Structure 1
């Protein structure tokens, strides 16, 4: 992720074996924009839980991708935003950026 807020994208299969990749990347990207380890872990856990809910709601092929975008938005205050799309469902996790 760059300081300009350009998004970083990640695509992983929806197979549960790949879910730790989402958790790890969410934590690392959140830490890279200034979140504490605990707050970054909370972002990762929320993303993992919401992704699990989407994949349980509608059975998906193991190869169905989960497309994730990590971004910094500057509308009404800077926020860290994680958007995911899987099998026609969208989800978003947002947190205000920590103060420097």
Structure 2
């Protein structure tokens, strides 16, 4: 996967900017984690959900990756329903793709 599957016609300018930011983080692992999640959800998100994701986008890649892999605890302001949904989304994908056997 090299980038978003969402077309410009599907979302407003605010969401287009957020899509671009999610897919162009500077760390490929974070591009894939954030980009694939936002592609799957952004069209249906409320403005509050978009705001919550924008808040996450302000966190540095190394810190976000540490949260994803459990190396560091997620601070309270970021441990939101959206964050937990993103972790579940990727856990489910990993299991479905046979990366983990539970």
Could you say whether these structures have the same fold, taking a TM-score greater than 0.5 normalized by the shorter chain as the test?
A: no
Which one has a larger percent helix, Structure 1 or Structure 2? 2
Higher relative contact order (CA 8 A, sep 6+): 1
Q: Which has the higher strand share?
A: 1
TM-score scaled by length of structure 1: 0.37
